[in-house]
Amino acid sequence: MFAGILGTVVAGLISVAVAAPAAAGTADNPVAGKDRPYAPVYGRTLPPIGFVDFCARNKKQCEPLGSSRRASLTESRWTTLRQVNAYVNSSIEPVSDQDLYAVPERWDYPVDAGACEDYVLLKKRQLEQRAFPGESLLITVVLDEAGEGHAVLMVTTDQGDFVLDNRRNEILRWTDTRYRFLKRQSQEDPRIWMALSEAGKTSIVEAGAERDK
């Protein structure tokens, strides 16, 4: 919904050129968590209920892509990740699903307000429109520092897994977030969800939380 104006707005929003991160793994810049670049996978688990409903309403957005490519993390792509993350974070007002839709859980593309999962959906779509492989953009459910459910976008790259979060503009390696990772989409089929911890195998935690207001 913001395609077409993103480039112009972002140019004014983020005018400073951004170099590729130390997280890209250069020899001169040690990376926190570099010994664990990728989140471990513990097998299949149940998808969030809100996601199941979203797919029922947006079938084309949940079709298998027939590939499991990781994104090649070039300097240009790192800049794009930072721009899209900052743009969406600044464009959408955080609000709970209950306040916005009068239901406990609903996933949808936001217009000007939304819960954490709505930010994720919009970032995923914006990045796909900028030539990121869809199978590298994985909706992920975590427990935050307060133990509440939260959704982030995990980008799996040839240099590790990175997290785009509506609570910060900085993009972090997954090990640097202080979140407890529960589950995420499968690269092979976005309708299938994979546990990222033993707890994630049986978790029924939903992404929307009151803290997103």
> Using one digit for the tens of pLDDT, what is the confidence trace for 106-142?
999 999 999 999 999 999 999 999 999 999 999 999 9
Residue 200 has a pLDDT of 82
**141, HSE (Cβ side, Cα atoms, 13 Å):** 30
Whole-angstrom Cα distance, residue 185 to residue 132? 16
The predicted pLDDT at position 66 comes to: 76
Strand 113-114 relative to strand 93-94: parallel, antiparallel, unpaired? parallel
Q: Answer yes or no: is pLDDT of 97 > 60.
A: yes
Q: Which helix H or strand E contains 123, and what residues bound it?
A: helix 116-128
Tell me which residue has tokens 């979203």: 54
Alpha-carbon Rg for the chain, nearest whole angstrom, is 16
**Considering all CA atoms of the chain, what is the largest pairwise distance in Å, rounded to the nearest integer?**
51
Residue 210 has pLDDT above 50, yes or no: no
For 5-31, the pLDDT digits (tens) are 333 333 333 332 333 444 443 322 334
Copy the structure tokens of residue 5: 């104006």
Model confidence pTM above 0.75: yes
- Closest by CA position to 77, among listed 133, 120, 118, 2: 133
List domains and CATH numbers for the chain: 43-212 (3.10.620.30)
Reported as a single tens digit per residue, the pLDDT across 30-63 is 344 568 999 999 999 999 999 999 999 999 999 9
| Token pair 């097998």: residue | 43
